[in-house]
Structure 1
Amino acid sequence: MLSLEELSKQRRRLEESWDHFLRDPRAAGNSSIRSVVLESWSRCVQSGVDPRRKATDISLKEDQIKDILQYSQLYELSFPILQDLSLQVKETGYLVTLCDPKGHILFLDGDRQVLKKAERMNFVVGADWSEQSIGTNAIGTCLEVGQPVQIFAAEHFCVGVQDWTCSSAPIRDPISRDIIGVVDVTGLWRDSQPHTLSMVTMACGTIQSRMNQQIAGARLELSEHYQQTQQRYPGNGVMALDAAFHPVAVNEEARRILRRHSGREVEQWWDNERIHAALFASRSPSVDEGMYEVTLEECGIRVVVEEVQWSGRRVGYLLILRPMGSQKTAGGPTVAWGGVIGRSPEILSVISRCDVVAHTDVPVLLLGESGTGKELFARGIHQAGPRRNGPFIAVNCGALQKDLLASELFGYAPGAFTGASKTGKAGKFEEAQNGTLFLDEIGEMPPEFQVHLLRVLQEREVVRLGSSQPIPVNARIIAATHRNLEEMMRRGEFREDLYFRLHVVSLTIPPLRDRRGDIPLLIDHILDQLSKRYHIPRPGLEPEVFDFFVHHYPWPGNVRELKHALEYAVLFCNRVITWRDLPETLRKAAFGDSGRSLTPYVSNVVSTPGDPRPALERSTARPAPRRALPGAVEAVPASKLEPTPESGANPGPVDAAADRQQLLQLLEEVGGNLSEAARRLRIARTTLYRRLDRYGIRKHLKIE
């Protein structure tokens, strides 16, 4: 490290060189100035940058920054590394920033006193630190040369920045290798340290590594989706594209279809901007935003386009191709199932059978617990079948009063009863004409009314209340219930003849606890929806909470309960969902009624479907290792940057109270000296900070 006297001499030499350059830029060739700086000064002169500038411009407004950060994968992946870096440099008088590829500051943290001084030159979030705006500086020059750069004092082109030293390194897209951001560490020139650039470069390397892992995970997800789609739709052409619309996989059937109907190979066919525009620029609405159908008239091909999501982001597309003149088979693709999240064998089996019955007109009885998504499957059957262009009418039989049931389902004639409309009213059967009528909670229908429903199903006609004129109806019937209809028949609560009329095909929607492999996908999907709905950054989950969700909690309310639990948590969490953010019912399931830590830890519990005992009374066998949910749903991984055994440990609910108490006791013993506390714990000081913040100790206790 250079002494202050040495730094002062160096600064004076640079100021002289800078002054000579401004008087005669052409004579600077013999200067001792580094070539990267001299070339940058020349660019500044050519761009007309005023060397007398004292501050840069603030280009991004607060709402613009919020929108950028909400959907920025770079910010999401960088945030824990930047936090860790800022903790390291805070006491050294430095600031840490993350900038976008245009030089706008998106993240800024560090020493508070230095932050105030930096505000004078608009070194703030939203400011433009490109060379074109504020001349030679590490951020802007790094973006220009694409290499790590350190700029000291009067190496800065503009006089208002010459009291500072800054070190920046670029972050590149793992595939295109384009610069997508810059990490910068800035401080006052007197605090200049030669190792700062190495530290910044290492931080960028860590971010780059995380991005590489994300890309690898996204490619794996796309590949798995491609393979499953081929299995799900045999005989169809299938083509996988990455997020940049580059083909990554094409099956032989797709090649055959394209040769026959377009006369071109896949590569030639795809190298056509009109095809891209037709497929992606003019999306047509569908049941689910992630899946839609496009007709390519010039090629004579119909294409179902399915977006592939991973970690809340689109990572690619699947194109499912078939000729325009071909008949749609039961195994053909539709947009009907885009809203069903899951790829477990259990859920794919149900979808496959629903696809088969969708192309018939037989009544379907959907069985399953509350919250499993029976209406979603009913809508899927409707959308997948020939009645998709007709209405889908849903009726909750359990929500209607007995005296209103007949008028709601069958309608009524003018003046049929006091208060009736003078023009009469069509019932749900008539409204569903040429479409589908979904009778939800059919088990709640009163026995005395079931005979009337049976007659309509047999005769295919309804008679409105107050009328004797039969009206023909042509509607497909899909019924659903969470109750055991066979047991109800034995008790005389449900008519046997109605049961067999509805029970031509019955399909059971599996409960969430029986398809736990889909829970990470559901969490991912739900959090993405919630972040968009509430316009907030997408939160993560602590590992213990994630493990509890995926492996242990029995989810008696199924997908509906998972949605509500996550929505509750999102409203109260601070970027990461922890135990305290969960609804009380889930906390009690994990900790017991006392709300305090119990033994054994809930991660040792394997929940058994249908077992009514409290979770902690069941097996204490260790669960199988889980596959971590990638990206935002994985817990904040800052601790993973330090490979000490303690640093990666994140106490579970059982250990948390004891861990907090031990920390308080240790801080009392060392008189609040954090360095000594970290030394005794044999962990990095930054790791200690995180543990103190996790338990809210730092903000409540007066410690160093």
Structure 2
Amino acid sequence: MVSQSGDEARGPQIRTTQRVEGGNVLGQTPEEAFANPDIVRDVLTNWEYFQSGILAARQVVRPAISDSWRRSQESAVDHRRGQAPMPMRDERLQRLLDKRNRLVQAGASTMALARDYMSETGTVMVLTDADGIVLRLEGDTKIALRNAVEKTHLLPGSNWSETVCGTNAIGTALETGQPLQVHATEHFCSGIQRWTCSASVIRDPIDGAVIGSIDLSGLSDSYGRQALALAISAAARIEAQLLQMEMEARYRLLDQCFWLLPPSDRHHAVLFDSAGRPFKANGEITQIMRDLGAPKCEPNFPQLRSADDRPWDASRPAWIKEEWLRPVDHDGEHLGTIMVAPKAAARTVSPSAQNSARTFGNIIHRSPKMHAVVEKCRRVAWTSAPVLLLGETGVGKEIFAQGLHTASPRRDQPFIVVNCGSISRDLLASELFGYVDGAFTGARRGGMAGKIETASGGSLFLDEIGELPLDLQPMLLRALESGEISRVGEATVRKVDFRLIAATNRDLDAEVNAQRFRKDLYYRLAVVPIAIPPLRERPDDIPMLVDHFVAQARTRYGLGDCRFSPEALALLQGHDWPGNVRELRNRVESLLLTSAGEVIEPSDLADLSFRTEVHARTDLGLSLTEVTERDLIARTLRSCNGNVAATASALGLAKSTVYAKLRHYQIRAD
């Protein structure tokens, strides 16, 4: 799903640092957020007058505090209260923690720092959700503070919202959306006035909604202005971590669902993140809304989750049918939702789909592993999403790349191949991006278009992408993200439109960790990662591949009726083939060209090494033909999960025969 004009679903955007509430920027100045410890007695006098319903002659209380006192009184908070309500326990608390797992995870590293660096400060750091429920608490564990924390119920599962506990940093910050320090007598409840606390709200980095708070609390003698600055800094750290988590979750969502998407000329598709926010579409979002019958009064694509996190039922508008929606989960984590809605004039038969079947039908395989890879390629070929082919040297990555291009809507356009590992850094820059006249000594007069520009409209296959120099990686990322390049020595921008297929035999995760490969480029490349299994993991394919290579060699070299004996084929299946299919092809051709007879026998394979278990099986006194039969039965039994009846059916044998052979070959059925 490549970005097109207007494909970003309007509404949810990464927020700015400006804090808003009710659509208006709040007007609190930074100084108004801090408490003044020198006027505690005067504040207490104002508080007593307020509780008596008398207007004090001298008002010293900040507006943020006096407004909170008024709200607390309107909420019927008991000003004599000395603690929060009893915290929720056990299963109820665990359910809440599971529900707020994203926030707890994002705050984990910040809370760990609190544990390490606040142990002697007489304060604790508190993480809450948007309702003011404490999720986690870290910090000083000295007995005096611990006893005060427990007595006040400043514990996981306790509710510190303003409507429950009156004016306090957690509840009032959540109520106003502003960072705030509440010191001693500024608290609405008399039993909490021995505390000083500083809190800042935590906002969703995408839509700016308040999702929690971070608070530093201690007994009043621990007051310090820097505590509020620390709370604000901690909130910013958590928001940054939330943003990183959200971006990674979206990349995982793309990875899981891109290859499921049908062609854009037949269906509308919209992706929603885990919070139900639309963030990606395969066309102009307003056009999609019009096609699906959205009311004209709806300016933005709707979210798919209600306030209490129930999916779809309370938030799905009538014009979005439930059968169009599919949740996307991976390893127990809800990544988001994909919506696929048919267009009114969708075709029922696609010539490109038939072309796809023919193209990938040329990949010789029998094993289930390889079949799954081919099916994934067949589905993803329709899209213009980047594909990252992973696999050892010789597994056939370029054949898959060619198949992806041939089965795509771009099949009539160029298919350009560049091996990033076979060209020097300086030459690779001009090879990929081209250059202008006079860009460097020896530059061709009039300049030259690069491979990316040449591939525009078609597909670019970058083999050995892991070898791409680090300083060229931002240039490739820009081409992928914006569809723009500049030739070497050129200031102007050129538009390009290409489908990228990349391949590597390196572990790019390890390369990213070693800072040899950019993480942002890796995520962009790995929209659809496809791991091609090595030949040793699919020995069932070897006889078919050998037959294919034998037929090719006969035609190429004019050979007669040459072939491999069953015993030789069985031995070939026991070789590890570090060079994979390429090594097998070269070995087959070499044997056919150098063998004295028409039939390749085991004696011709004397220089090949075989896995220990192959020799162990021949030690049982079995012929190599029997070894082949034993392997076939054993593999079929494993694929049937030990079910003998299913194995017999798959082999076309009677169940009694299979049992007899299991005993003969000493194969265990469990």
How does the TM-score come out when normalised to structure 1?
A: 0.41
Q: Name the structure, 1 or 2, with higher relative contact order (CA <8 Å, separation 6+).
A: 2
